[in-house]
Amino acid sequence: MQNLDIPLYIMAALIGVYAVSAVFVILVKRFNLIKRSLAPYIIVASLIFMFLALSSILIVSKTLNPSEDDRRYMQSYQEVDKRFNQILKDSAAFDSIYNYEFKFAKFSNEPIGVKNARGEVDNFAHSFTIGENGFSFALSDKAGEVITDAQIVAQISRVDTNAYDQEINATFGENEYNFDNIKIKSEGRYRVTLRVLTPVASVYLIREIYAR
């Protein structure tokens, strides 16, 4: 059974809604504030109010905390949470065996700065453009020998939604793994995740770039 990770503010809001509804019903019954014949309708109305309040809270929570749908490791949040220590170990092992390099298009001038949700500025040196894009990935062992038999899949997604995710299999050519036909429809932040599998190691590699 999976654990439900409910933020404290949601729990407090739910308790508040329940308490207000319960107090209202008790007062109605205790002091006969309304006719007895209307009491069942008031109770039903209170339950409906609680349901609507709960729905609104969950919708807001989903909007403010989209991590449950965050597939930055090409897995659900729950799967990543279970395997996160193993993911870190795999990454360290991969780095000890291989050298690698992402090769994206670069902005022609200085890196551009974009404010994030916290008001801080993130600098982006690499870019996608609106339309069709591509990039390459070089992989070699520590002796400089090019790795030609890796299985690599790229996932391209917006950082704020999974609605436009694209998964692309690599093609190998000129000693690099190439990813073509990446279609970008709007400006903004994008996340590129590579799932790299070799005969001796595996890793998830993530880069964030900006499209304009």
The per-residue DSSP string of 181-204 comes to: EEEE-S-EEEEEEEEEE-SS-EEE
Residue 66: its pLDDT value, please? 46
* Residue whose C-alpha is closest to residue 93's, from 146, 138, 150, 142: 142
Contact yes or no for 140/147 (Cβ under 8 A): yes
Residue 123: its pLDDT value, please? 80
40 & 79 share domain:
no
Contact yes or no for 183/166 (Cβ under 8 A): yes
Residue 3 counted as domain residue: no
Contact yes or no for 125/106 (Cβ under 8 A): yes
Both tokens assigned to 70:
């965050």
Our count of domains for the chain comes to 2
Report how far Cα 128 is from the mean position of its chain's Cα atoms.
20
In this predicted structure, which of 48-62, 84-98, 175-189 has the lowest mean pLDDT? 48-62
Return the SS3 of 149: coil
Residue 161: its pLDDT value, please? 81
Q: Tell me which residue range forms the domain holding 45.
A: 8-64
Q: Say whether pLDDT at 17 is over 80.
A: no
Residue 12: its pLDDT value, please? 62
86 & 35 share domain:
no
Both tokens assigned to 48:
């409906």
91 & 168 share domain:
yes
Residue 1 counted as domain residue: no
31 & 114 share domain:
no
CB-based contacts of 5: which residues, under 8 Å, 6+ apart? none
27 & 120 share domain:
no
Burial 100-110 (b: 16+ CB within 10 A, else e): beeebeeeeee
CATH of the domain at 105: 2.60.40.10
Arithmetic mean of pLDDT, 124-138: 89
21, 47, 64: which is the final residue of a domain? 64
Q: Quick one: how many helices (H) and strands (E) in the chain?
A: 3, 12
Distance CA 195, CA 104 (A): 17
Residue 29: CB atoms within 10 Å: 14
35 & 123 share domain:
no
Q: Say whether pLDDT at 38 is over 60.
A: no
Residue 115: its pLDDT value, please? 77
Average pLDDT taken over every residue of the chain: 78
CB-based contacts of 93: which residues, under 8 Å, 6+ apart? 201
Q: Give the pTM.
A: 0.63
16 & 76 share domain:
no
97 & 147 share domain:
yes
